[in-house]
Amino acid sequence: MYLITIKEPTRLWLYHKPRGLVTSHSDEKGRATTFDHLPPEMPRVISVGRLDLNSEGLLLLTNDGALSRYLELPTTGWVRKYRVRAYGKISQERLDTLKGGIIVDGISYGPMSVVLEPAQAANVWMTISLQEGKNREIRRVLDFLGLTVNRLIRTSYGVFELGVIPAGAVEEVGQEQFRRVFGGMFVQGGRPPSQN
């Protein structure tokens, strides 16, 4: 007797991750996780990339590992945007040097586009766009430049935006928008074309 399993259609959700949650299915330190706080009716999902414990904002969730990998690849060109508040002083000219990438403690980080907002007291606000997103990348790079990040909010991931989704809430991407963005690559469990 053969057991035939039908693959679920690929689905995608936008989640507004609050600060204080670990982006993991379990945590060895017993801290609360993103997945502990999802609605109980949601199927098992995985995250597209991560946001660290003290970061907040848009986290994409999917039931399809291939979609997650596709969205995370720098070669697909999906830009992540963040609003960042940091303690310290810096000029736009210094931040512009990040457009060519930077090496910090032997780790090579890809290009970042940074737009500095007018300074507010001891903190500065900026918008940062990047395509890669290594572990704690923004915090490490800004620390190297003499800034201490005290708030980091992902506002968009490619065409998907946080908008007015309340902290802790989840919204599913509708099938019409999904098809408009991905075409037939992932419909009914399809796979993306190979990356050459």
Q: Locate the domains of the chain by residue range.
A: 12-74+158-189, 84-156
Q: Which two tokens stand for residue 90?
A: 């810096």
Burial class (CB in 10 A: 0-12, 13-18, 19+), 59: buried
> For the segment 71-83, what is each residue's pLDDT rounded down to a tens digit?
998 788 899 999 9
Q: Identical fold at 12-74+158-189 and 84-156?
A: yes
Place of tokens 């204080």: 20
**Average pLDDT in the 59-68 region?**
95
For the domain 12-74+158-189, what is the CATH code? 3.30.70.580
- Report percent pLDDT > 70 for the chain: 91
Any idea which residues carry the catalytic annotation?
Answer: 52
pLDDT at 141 over 50: yes
Amino acid identity, residue 17?
K
For the domain 84-156, what is the CATH code? 3.30.70.1560
pLDDT at 1 over 70: no
pLDDT of 188 reads: 47
pLDDT of 134 reads: 79
C-alpha to C-alpha distance for 121 and 58, rounded to whole angstroms: 27
The answer to whether the beta carbons of residues 155 and 57 sit under 8 Å apart is yes
The answer to whether the beta carbons of residues 101 and 111 sit under 8 Å apart is yes
C-alpha to C-alpha distance for 13 and 170, rounded to whole angstroms: 7
The answer to whether the beta carbons of residues 53 and 31 sit under 8 Å apart is yes
pLDDT of 158 reads: 94
Q: Write the CA distances from 20 to 12, 34, 53, 58, 193, integer angstroms.
A: 23, 9, 5, 14, 37
pLDDT at 16 over 50: yes
CB atoms within 10 A of CB 30: 8
pLDDT of 27 reads: 78
pLDDT of 13 reads: 97
pLDDT of 135 reads: 79
